Structure 1
Amino acid sequence: MKNSKSYRPNVAAVVLSSSYPNKCEFLVAHRTDIKGAWQFPQGGIDAGETPLYALYRELKEEIGTDSIEVIAEYPEWIKYDFPSGVSKKFYPFDGQKQKYFLVRLKNDTLIDIQTHIPEFNEYKFVAYEELFEQVTHFKRPVYRQVIDYFKREGYL
């Protein structure tokens, strides 16, 4: 039987503070539209965009800056399904197909989540030990897969 699920092409940024590599802190942000949902910045890839171009555009749209250094890229696309109740918001998609990038904020970069259309109402930097307690439950397996890969490769 053919898989009839549809996945939205998407990029996600594992954003490290400008203190990296001396201090490893991850940016997580609270969504304005889903109470209690903390996540990495992410967003759809528009027609004709490369994942890298979409990464810079989405960071500018979501955290008010694209002043980053790309450290690494996860080598594969990762799919996940939205939990029931969330998928209707993103109709007609059943989930997302994501390309992850590990990035570092450049020195003295300011984050401004009060963008043209704010997607986040709060953000913070957390240590690895706090990360998986902070992020929304359905993203934890994917985040763990990506973070573990970057750790194995020596980036974290």
Structure 2
Amino acid sequence: MSDASTLPYRPCAGILLTNASGLIFAGERIDTPGAWQMPQGGIDAGETPEVAALRELTEEIGVPADAVDVIARTKDAIPYDLPPHLLGKVWGGRYRGQAQYWFLMRLTAGDEVIDIETEHPEFSRWKWTTPADLLDEIVPFKRSVYEQVVRELLPDAV
């Protein structure tokens, strides 16, 4: 494999979705039992980060755009590098990691709009969780990104 530092970051949008109680949506990855994460996904050509985030919200957890309020977004994209054992294995080996734009969204509908049994399911189960528990359960190589997202979008929670 070539030097990872020469590879670009994959543009990505992520969603920190909260409910009326201020808890955060987390889904357990189907491909990595025990690893919980917030919805996220790649930004397609021609999409803005916000449009991609709303699309991913629907694709990954079934929540339509009209069931959320977009509250805030991170000032900049937050990059992370893949760990060595994943380099060359995900995204066809084209990227060294992701540069993620994160959006704070509040669910304005009830939990019944959440449906993880999507066309291409990513999560085996889901829950509402606290920021501290989310940070404990995220895969280690994404923990610093999640810490930064929570600090920036939910400063009163840390």
TM-score (norm: length of structure 1): 0.88
Name the residue aligned to 2:27: 29
Q: Helix, strand or coil: the match of 2:51? A: helix
Instruction: Give 4+ residue runs of structure 1 displaced > 6 Å after superposition.
Output: none
Q: Which runs of 5+ in 2 are unaligned?
A: none
Percent identity, aligned pairs only, is: 40
Residue 129 of structure 1 deviates from its aligned partner by: 3.0
Name the residue aligned to 1:134: 137
Name the residue aligned to 1:143: 146
Name the residue aligned to 1:63: 61
In the aligned structure 2, how far is the partner of 1:121 from the partner of 1:86?
21
Structure with the largest fraction of helix: 2
In the aligned structure 2, how far is the partner of 1:63 from the partner of 1:14?
13
In the aligned structure 2, how far is the partner of 1:59 from the partner of 1:103?
10
Deviations 1:59-97 (A, max 9, x none): 100001122110101110111001122231222111001
Alignment of 1:55-94 (within 5 A): 55-66=53-64, 67-87=67-87, 88-90=89-91, 91-94=93-96
In the aligned structure 1, how far is the partner of 2:46 from the partner of 2:152?
28
CA RMSD of aligned residues (A): 1.7
Q: Helix, strand or coil: the match of 2:154? A: helix
Name the residue aligned to 1:119: 122
Match for residue 103 of structure 2 among 101, 104, 116 = 101
Aligned amino acid, residue 71 of structure 1: I
Aligned amino acid, residue 113 of structure 1: I
Q: Which runs of 5+ in 1 are unaligned?
A: none
TM-score (norm: length of structure 2): 0.87
Q: Helix, strand or coil: the match of 1:69? A: strand
Residue 5 of structure 1 deviates from its aligned partner by: 2.5
In the aligned structure 2, how far is the partner of 1:47 from the partner of 1:31?
26
Residue 107 of structure 1 deviates from its aligned partner by: 2.5
Q: Note closer, same or farther for the CA distance 1:155–1:133 as it changes in structure 2 (3 Å cut).
A: closer
